[in-house]
Amino acid sequence: MASAEHMEAPICLVENKNEKLMVNQQALQILTSITKPVVVVAIVGLYRTGKSYLMNRLAGKNVGFSLGSTVQSHTKGIWMWCVPHPSKPDHALVLLDTEGLGDVEKDDSENDCWIFALAILLSSTFVYNSMSTINHQALEQMQYVTELTELIKVKSSPNAIGKDSAEFVGFFPDFVWTVRDFTLELELDGHPITPDEYLENALKLSKGKNPKVQRANLPRECIRKFFPKRKCFTFDRPTNDKALLTHLEDVQESQLEPAFKDQADNFCSYIFSNAKTKTLSGGIIVNGNRLGRLLEIYVKTIYSGDIPCLENAVLALAQIENSVAVQKATNHYVEQMALKVDLPTETLQDLINLHTDCEKEAISIFMKHSFKDDTHKFQEELVQILENKKNGFIRQNEEHSIRYCEIKLNYLSQTLMESISQGIFSVPGGYKLYREEREKIMNHYHQVPKKGIKADEVLQRFLRSLEMTGESILQTDQALTEQEKAMEVEQFKKDAAEKEKKMLEQQLMEMQQKMEAQQRSYEENIKQLEIKMMEHRTQILREQEMILEHKIKEQKKLMEEGFHKKAEEMEREIENLQTNIKSAESTNFSWWTSILDAISTRMMALLPGARKLFRGGKKAVSQPT
C-alpha cells in the first residue's frame, strides 16, 4: 500500500461523479495511515488558472497534479498528494488540488460550493488562485466565500445556520491569494506597495447603499471577517513562449522567467515556513487519521443533503478517537507490564510499584490522544480496564507463586513422604527424626529464591496437611513421656497460631497495599485530568483573545473607511467576546470542584480504595496552586 512518505503521485481523494461527491477509499486509507500532525494546503480558483502547477512546486516536482494544456478542466473533485514536510520532519504536508470553479462544461455548479467549503474545512492554509488582477470581477468570483455561513454550521443548534458566523474565524484557515500573470505596477497614489498592501487595498469597502455596491462589498466583508491572517503573492507569466506555456510540466528551470522563478520560490518558502499545523478548536492537533475521519463525516453529511456541523463532526471524531485512545493506553499498559514484571514478584508491593509506573504512562497516553471526553466516559472506561488488568496481574502473580512453591515443596518433601509411607518414623524416637526431617524441608524451602507472595501460605497449607500424621507419630513414639507429648502438642499449636497470625497480618498488609494503589490511581487520574482541563481552558481563552484582537482591528478599519454603522454592529460582538473572556478569566475554582465532585463520585465506585483520599484530599487537589 502507498504511504504518505512515498506517494509518487497524487490520487483523487474526493470524487465528483454524476454531481455527487464521494470519498475515494484507497486515498482515504493512505491519509488515515498518517500518524504525524499534518499541514494541509488547499488551493481553489477558476479552472485553467494554473493551480496545479503551484501545488506541484510545493511537492518539489514538475509532474504530479494534472496541469492540462487546453481550455478543458482536468482536475475533478479534490486530489491529494501527501509528502514529507520539507522543514518539519515530524509533520506531513498534505496538498489538496481542487476542481476548477466555474467550469462551463458542468451542468450544475452546486458542487463548486461544496468543494470550496471542503477546502476550507480541511485546510490549515487556503490558497485562492486568480488571474491578472484583484478587481471587481476577481472578487465576484469569490462568491463562494459569501455562501459559507449557509453551507457550514459551527454549533449543533437547529437555529445556528447563519447566526454563528462570528465564530467562523476561530476555525478558518490562513488565507493566501495568488494572482497569476500579474502585469500591473505595484503602486498606490504614486508610491510602491507590497502585494499584501495591494490585497488589503482591494478589500476596502465601497460606499453606497444601492444593492450593486452592497453585493460588491459582500465578498470583501466575508474575507476580512473570516480570514484574519491574509497574504498575497503576485506572479509574472512563467514564460513568454506560448508553446512552453501549454506544457509547463516539461519546462526546465532555466527556461522560466527569472522573476517568475523567484516569485514561485518565495511562495513555496512562505508556505513551508508559515503554513500552520491543522488544529481543531481547543488546540486539538490533527493528524492524517483524524483528517480522514473528518472528511468522511463531512462528505457523508453533504451526501445526505444535510449541512456539515463542526461541533457534531468533532464530537463524532472524538467518539472514534477516544475509543482508540483507550485501546492505545491499555495496550501500552499490558505491554509494559509484561515486559517489566517477572512473575512471581517477591512481594505484592513490588508488583504494585510496577503497576503504578505503567498506569501513569497509560493515563498520559490516553490524555495525549483523547479529546472532548466531556462526560469522562472514556477515562472511566480506562480506569475500569486498568483496574481489571491490575487485578489480573495480581491473580497471575499469586498463581505463579502457588504453582512454583507447591512444585518446590513436593520435591523437597519426597524423602519425608517416602519415610512416612514406609513407617520409618513408627519407632521409639521416631517423632524426633520426623521433626528433624520436617525442619530440614522448611530450611531448604526458605532458601529457595523467588517464591513469590504466596510462599508462607503454601508452606502453611503443607504443614497443615502433615498435622494428623505428625500427631500420630508423636502419640506412638514410646520414647516420649505423656508430659513431653503434651508439651510438644502445645508447642505445635503455638507455632501454628503464630504462623496463622503472621499470614493474617500479611493478608491485611496486602489489602492495605491494594487500597493504597487505588488511591494512587485515583490521584493520578485526577491530577492528569486537571492539567489537561486547565490546558484546554487556556487554549480556548487564547483562541477567544485572538478572535477579539481580529475584530477590534477590523472595527478600526471600518471606522477609518467611514462605515460607522457596521463598526457599531461589530461593537456588540466585541462586547460579548470581552464579557466571555472576563468571565472565564475571573472564574474561581468552583467550576473545577463541581466537576471533581461528579468525577470522584463515579471513580469511587470503580476504585473503592479512593474513598479515603477523596474525603481527606479533595480540598487539597481542588485549591489553586
Between 159 and 136, where is the model more confident?
136
Q: Identify the pLDDT of residue 505.
A: 86
Sorted by sequence, the CB contacts under 8 Å of residue 247 that are 6+ apart come out as 69
What confidence tens digit (pLDDT) does each residue in 471-509 have? 888 888 877 667 877 887 787 778 778 878 888 888 888
Quick one: which of 576, 579, 584, 580 has its CA closest to 533? 584
DSSP label at residue 258: H
What confidence tens digit (pLDDT) does each residue in 582-608 have? 877 666 555 566 666 777 778 777 887
Q: Identify the pLDDT of residue 48.
A: 67
Mean pLDDT rounded to a whole number for the chain: 84
Residue 564's pLDDT band (cuts 50, 70, 90): confident
167 has a pLDDT exceeding 60: yes
What confidence tens digit (pLDDT) does each residue in 511-528 have? 899 999 988 998 898 889
Q: Which of 283-287, 449-453, 482-486 has the lowest mean pLDDT?
A: 482-486
Task: State the pTM of this model.
Answer: 0.79
Overall size of the chain counted in residues: 625
Report the 3 state secondary structure along 120-166: HHHCCEEEEEEECCCCHHHHHCCHHHHCHHHHCECCCCCCCCCCCHH
Cβ–Cβ < 8 Å for 2, 288:
no
Residue 201's pLDDT band (cuts 50, 70, 90): very high
What confidence tens digit (pLDDT) does each residue in 336-381 have? 999 999 999 999 999 999 999 999 999 999 999 999 898 899 999 9
What confidence tens digit (pLDDT) does each residue in 25-41 have? 999 999 999 999 999 99
293 has a pLDDT exceeding 70: yes
443 has a pLDDT exceeding 90: yes
Q: Across the strands, what pairs with 233?
A: 178
Quick one: which of 538, 602, 594, 545 has its CA closest to 574? 545
What confidence tens digit (pLDDT) does each residue in 220-272 have? 988 998 898 999 999 998 877 765 666 666 566 777 888 989 999 999 999 99
Q: Identify the pLDDT of residue 267.
A: 96
Q: Which of 105-109, 454-458, 505-509, 569-573 has the lowest mean pLDDT?
A: 105-109
Distance CA 461, CA 343 (A): 21
Between 357 and 5, where is the model more confident?
357
Between 538 and 360, where is the model more confident?
360
Q: Identify the pLDDT of residue 157.
A: 63
Q: Identify the pLDDT of residue 239.
A: 79
Mean pLDDT across the stretch 166-184?
86
Cβ–Cβ < 8 Å for 85, 64:
no
**CATH architecture of structural domain 4-308:** 3-Layer(aba) Sandwich (3.40)
Residue 618's pLDDT band (cuts 50, 70, 90): very low
Mean pLDDT across the stretch 46-62?
82
Q: Identify the pLDDT of residue 624.
A: 41
Handedness of CA 292, 17, 172, 66 (dihedral sign): positive
What confidence tens digit (pLDDT) does each residue in 297-309 have? 999 998 888 888 8
572 has a pLDDT exceeding 90: no
Residue 616's pLDDT band (cuts 50, 70, 90): very low
Quick one: which of 87, 85, 174 has its CA closest to 124? 174
Mean pLDDT across the stretch 108-130?
87
